[in-house]
Copies of this chain bind each other. A is one copy, B any other.
Amino acid sequence: MTGAAAMPAPQLTSLIRSALAEDLGRAGDITSNAVIPAGQTMHGVIRSRERGQLAGVEAAARAFTLMDESVEVAIAHPDGAAVEAGATVLSVSGPAHAILAAERVALNLLCHLSGIATATAALVEAVADYPARIACTRKTTPGLRALEKFAVRAGGGVNHRFGLDDAMLIKENHIAVAGGVTAALARARAAAGHLVKIETEVDSLDQLDEALAGRADAVLLDNMNPGDLAAAVARVDGRAVTEASGRVNRDTVAAVAASGVDIISVGALTHSAPILDLGLDTLPADE
């Protein structure tokens, strides 16, 4: 995994603090406070219950240390690592109250993000014989976009737009209002800053020709079958980035990639990936 997979640090602390507050509520961990003496320490390890690709390890570590800075965390497998079932991901030791209070938040982040990374890695592997890269979309969980897009990178994928403001994507309704691809592209080009790329959706070869004539940086080929995709790729002939989308899954992704498209974007990576199952095995401290 390259440097591009670095965690978005500043927002992370704030997000984890909010997640801890959400779980602790007003009264905190009333079970542990009642049952476990205040000074008690403990050791624990987070292990993966299944094969997969990790994301959120650093976030999970931070959940423990933000709960109590005296908790010590050692990371065995970092973000982006592939693990087998049973592998230890990190170990944690310190005050039992803090570790147990942060456990659920740490795991909720780690399991969710690793689920995304694992789903991404499966698609990446499935298209390994083709030039296509696997990308996510803006179909993310509210509040978690930066982390979920990080998880896609940790799984070997690449990121599409982070929001409405960092690139232009002209969709069907824009085209309808503007009166065609040519007009929409012209308006977009006039308004765009010089570091803003413009992609436009096209649903026919005619629209594709307009997009190329209007110097679109990329074209979105939505819900086309592999044959149409291949024809579109041939027509583009390197003059724009080609992106395919539309209910792609592990069974169909190779056929899509075989069309020669540059990018295959898959909303399900972030909105429907099941978690990777990881758990905390705890041991009472021997001191």
Listed stretches A24-32, A81-89, A226-234, A251-259; interface member: A24-32
Which residues of chain B have C-beta atoms less than 8 A from A4's C-beta?
30, 33-34, 191
Are B111 and A30 within 8 A (Cβ)? no
Are A28 and B194 within 8 A (Cβ)? no
A287 to chain B, nearest CB (A): 13
- Interface positions of A from 107 to 141, Cβ below 8 Å from B: 107-109, 111-112, 115, 133, 135, 138-141
A185-220 to B contact mask, C-beta < 8 Å, 1/0:
001101111111101000000000000000001100
Which residues of chain B have C-beta atoms less than 8 A from A108's C-beta?
138-142, 271
Contact among B18, B19, B29, B167 for A164, CB-based, below 8 A:
B29
- Interface positions of A from 2 to 30, Cβ below 8 Å from B: 2-4, 6, 8-11, 15-30
Which residues of chain B have C-beta atoms less than 8 A from A163's C-beta?
22-26
Tell me, yes or no, whether A144 is within 8 Å of chain B by CB.
yes
Tell me, yes or no, whether A47 is within 8 Å of chain B by CB.
no
Are A143 and B18 within 8 A (Cβ)? yes
Interface set of A (CB-CB < 8 Å, partner B): 2-4, 6, 8-11, 15-38, 40, 42, 67-68, 96-97, 100-101, 104-105, 107-109, 111-112, 115, 133, 135, 138-146, 149, 158-171, 173-174, 176-178, 184, 187-188, 190-197, 199, 217-218, 241, 243, 262-263, 268, 271-272, 274-275, 282, 284
Please name 18 further chain A to chain B contacts, defined as beta carbons within 8 Å, in addition to the given A2-B190, A27-B149, sorted by A numbering.
Answer: A2-B34, A10-B67, A11-B26, A15-B142, A24-B164, A31-B170, A36-B174, A42-B177, A101-B164, A108-B138, A115-B272, A141-B141, A162-B166, A173-B282, A195-B218, A196-B197, A268-B274, A272-B275
